Amino acid sequence: MPEVAKEMEVPKRILLGPGPSNVHPRVLKAMSMPLIGHLDPEFLKIMDQTMELLRTVFQTKNRLTIPVSGTGSAGMEAAFVNFIEEGDKVIVAINGVFGERVADLLRRLKAQITEVRAEWGRPIDVSRIEEELKKDRFKAVAIVHAETSTGVLQPIEGLGKLAKENGALFIVDTVTSLGGVPVKVDEWMIDVSYSGTQKCLSCPPGISPFTVNERAIEVMKGRKTKIPSWYFDLTMIEKYWGSERVYHHTAPISMIYALREALRLIIEEGLEARFKRHFENYKFLSEKLGEIGINYLVEEKYRLPSLNSVLIPAGVNDKDVRKRLLDQYDIEIGGGLGVLGGKIWRIGLMGYSSNKDNINLLVNALKDILKK
């Protein structure tokens, strides 16, 4: 039998990179449940339950709170193709790779972009966004809550109110924050938010949790032009997830099973308890790394507990250490992206992967490798 046709053998890794995170056995078990049709009455019930669980985790009452079929990047596309038209003016906050991606997408949509930038590893100065809002009328303000490329947790409280007062939508990337730190969609007046399943939700990648309030839906309905994407057209997708149940596309059934179970695990743990666990494990990691002389890129008050960006010690080869961690210890961590390539390691403590046993294994492995 040729090698390619043999049964797969996949190593068991400790996933402590920027995503995916390890998945709870209950989630894997849920994925193995029998397939049923995407319009089967029993699956429609599962869809409703998944939406309700998502509302709890997003801390929202938004009717249109759904999993978009596709990864977090699919959620990003859906968040902009539905609400932004050619010529619309949008403020984009950029302090890492994922802010850059939003700007790239908006350029493809031929929007007029005003960039508010910060050095990678630093938060955006919100007062600069306020200044821009005073100068002109904008369709939206877009910002990344948790910048995965740098480990910055961006303060966004008050920005939604500011955007609304100036007639702009507030669109927030919560890919690496949802389920790991508070994301208060209603309280923070977030109009549109998208996330990913493979980070703090500890679900395999493949769908994007997504929520939209009625204010944004009215903006979408008032468009002058047709939504340029068929696949991400929310005017059609909402009819499948809503009471009409009009067929749009075949939902990723097994992934919906997985997400439902991952969300159940979060509800069982409790949101506050989960946030506390992520924070306490980040503090434990920072103490352990400090003992072996590894420091953080980000100022303490802006650190993202679920994604720790740490400076690579002088004279240490980034790729060599990460390869040894993977080959000798079955531990994955991430390297830096863009201008931070070769300068930082990105250590994820997300969802099911966020525990002290994993931290001790990683720090002891790093200690051994750095000695050698």
Residue 6 lies in a domain: no
Strands 307-311 vs 344-348: parallel, antiparallel or unpaired = antiparallel
**Are both 192 and 282 inside the same structural domain?**
no
Q: Which domain-ending residue is among 233, 267, 301?
A: 267
**Are both 256 and 277 inside the same structural domain?**
no
Residue 46: alpha-carbon gap to chain centroid: 23
The predicted pLDDT at position 296 comes to 98
**Are both 317 and 251 inside the same structural domain?**
no
The predicted pLDDT at position 372 comes to 81
CATH number reported for the structural domain that contains residue 198 in this entry: 3.40.640.10
Strands 207-212 vs 64-69: parallel, antiparallel or unpaired = antiparallel
Q: Which of 185, 106, 70 is nearest to 115 (CA)?
A: 106
Backbone angles phi, psi at 208, to 5 degrees: -125, 110
**Are both 249 and 366 inside the same structural domain?**
no
Q: HSE of 357 in the Cβ direction (CA atoms, 13 Å)?
A: 4
The stretches in the chain having pLDDT less than 50 are none
| Residue 20: cis peptide before it, omega within 30 degrees of 0 | yes
**Are both 240 and 298 inside the same structural domain?**
no
Q: What is the pLDDT of residues 231-288, one digit of tens each?
A: 999 999 999 999 999 999 999 999 999 999 999 999 999 999 999 999 999 999 999 9
41, 47, 51, 53: CA torsion to nearest 10: 100
Q: Quick check: helix, strand or coil at residue 303? A: strand
Could you give the number of structural domains in the chain? 2
The predicted pLDDT at position 2 comes to 80
* pTM flag (> 0.95): yes
**Are both 187 and 240 inside the same structural domain?**
yes
CATH number reported for the structural domain that contains residue 343 in this entry: 3.90.1150.10
**Are both 133 and 153 inside the same structural domain?**
yes
Q: What is d(CA 305, CA 307) in angstroms, rounded to the nearest whole number?
A: 6
The predicted pLDDT at position 200 comes to 98
**Are both 37 and 174 inside the same structural domain?**
yes
Structure tokens given for 282? 């980040």
Q: What is d(CA 77, CA 118) in angstroms, rounded to the nearest whole number?
A: 23
**Are both 144 and 277 inside the same structural domain?**
no
331 has which bridge partners?
Answer: 14
Domain that holds residue 321: 14-20+271-371
